[in-house]
């Protein structure tokens, strides 16, 4: 466990993380090392940043805590995600990985998430965007504090066949009992061919329900902004889900790539379902970046209808 002390009197204890081993795989234009990332994160997590965050979480917070812990819980090619524990609360630090481009992207992300959440609240729609708290930075690296969702797990999209993608399904990209239960029932059987692909897209299937709820949220985003996320790809962790909820309570955690103007969400969805997947090989690792929806037009139609119902229910 590494300990970092700031000049403002705060001490951050960094807990061991399994993501240290994969840090170099996700470089994306930055030479920041894993060790350097902890130093930068510690500086961002100074007293003013944490006190401002805690005041937004709890208006009665008195700003008396100066000793807290942080754990790297997720790692992407652009950002590092830390869970920060300030007893008795927790929040997430989303931190860029060093380059000026990533710094600018993260600051835009902060603005986009806050803006979308504000629109949802103003229209009295389901607020499926967690709260972004405070934007900070240190030596060209930006970071913002974000609502921690203890019951939600990162949603990962999987498809069968890189060329024809005859069917697609979901897994919970996390460790622990909750993820294991979902994956053992609905993901592993598909990998082992003990569950028929025809079962995936039945209306009572969790995969069907996740897809329709996900498309419904895209519909609402499009109605509010006229845009879609420019690099939308749920297999990269754009949504989190609670497997214990019937509708999975999907939460959008990134407007990946910023907003892109779109004239017809339906056309984009149907066209996207026929595009080929893209595979990238980095060393011994293979990253699959693919469109989110398979060729079942009925699911797209059901998701769009669900979105219309959600939007119109409050209008």
Q: Is residue 209 within 8 Å of 201, Cβ to Cβ? A: no
Write down the pTM of the prediction.
0.88
Residue 285: what pLDDT? 45
Tell me the average confidence (pLDDT) per consecutive run of 10 residues in the chain, 315 residues long. Answer: 89 86 60 82 96 94 88 86 94 91 93 98 97 96 96 82 59 86 84 69 86 94 94 80 94 93 89 58 47 72 95 84
Closest CA to 23 of 41, 5, 11, 10: 41
Distance CA 314, CA 74 (A): 35
What digits encode the pLDDT tens for the residues 32-88? 777 788 999 999 999 999 999 999 999 999 877 889 999 999 887 788 999 999 989
Q: Is residue 207 within 8 Å of 201, Cβ to Cβ? A: yes
Distance CA 157, CA 210 (A): 10
Which long-range CB contacts under 8 A does 86-90 form with residues at least 24 apart? Answer: 86/50, 86/54, 89/54, 89/57, 89/58, 90/148, 90/150
Distance CA 49, CA 54 (A): 9
Taken in order of first residue, the domains within the chain and their CATH numbers are 2-147 (3.30.200.20), 153-312 (no CATH)
Q: How many residues does the chain have?
A: 315
Distance CA 301, CA 208 (A): 12
Radius of gyration of the chain measured on its C-alpha atoms: 20
What digits encode the pLDDT tens for the residues 146-164? 999 999 999 887 766 544 4
For 216, the enclosing helix (H) or strand (E) is: helix 206-225
Residue 186: what pLDDT? 82
Distance CA 14, CA 23 (A): 16
Instruction: Kindly write down the DSSP assignment for every residue of 20-48, as one continuous string.
Output: GGGGGG--TT----HHHHHHHHHHHT-HH
Instruction: Kindly write down the DSSP assignment for every residue of 146-178, as one continuous string.
Output: EE--TT-EEEEEEEE-TTT--EEEEEE-S-SHH
Distance CA 10, CA 92 (A): 18
């Amino acid at each position: 466990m590494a300990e970092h002390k700031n000049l403002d009197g705060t001490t951050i204890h960094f807990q061991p993380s399994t993501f240290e081993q994969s840090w170099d795989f996700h470089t994306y234009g930055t030479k920041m090392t894993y060790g350097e990332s902890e130093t930068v994160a510690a500086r961002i997590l100074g007293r003013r940043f944490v006190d401002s965050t805690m005041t937004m979480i709890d208006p009665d917070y008195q700003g008396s805590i100066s000793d807290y812990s942080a754990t790297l819980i997720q790692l992407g090619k652009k950002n590092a995600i830390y869970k920060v524990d300030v007893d008795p609360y927790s929040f997430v630090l989303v931190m860029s990985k060093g380059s000026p481009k990533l710094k600018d992207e993260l600051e835009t992300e902060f603005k986009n998430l806050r803006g979308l959440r504000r629109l949802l609240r103003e229209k009295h729609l389901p607020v499926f965007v967690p709260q972004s708290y405070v934007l900070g930075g240190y030596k060209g690296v930006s970071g913002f504090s974000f609502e921690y969702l203890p019951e939600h797990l990162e949603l990962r999209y999987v498809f069968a066949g890189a060329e024809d993608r005859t069917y697609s399904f979901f897994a919970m990209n996390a460790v622990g009992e909750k993820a294991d239960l979902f994956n053992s029932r609905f993901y592993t059987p598909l990998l082992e061919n003990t569950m028929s692909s025809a079962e995936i897209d039945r209306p009572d299937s969790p995969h069907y329900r996740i897809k329709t709820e996900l498309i419904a949220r895209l519909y609402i985003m499009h109605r509010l902004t006229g845009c879609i996320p420019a690099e939308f790809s749920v297999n990269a962790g754009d949504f989190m889900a609670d497997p214990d909820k019937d509708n999975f309570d999907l939460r959008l955690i990134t407007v990946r790539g910023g907003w892109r103007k779109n004239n017809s969400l339906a056309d984009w969805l149907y066209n996207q379902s026929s595009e080929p997947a893209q595979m990238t090989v980095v060393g011994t690792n293979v990253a699959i970046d693919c469109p989110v929806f398979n060729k079942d037009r009925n699911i797209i139609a059901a998701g769009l209808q669900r979105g219309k119902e959600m939007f119109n229910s409050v209008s």
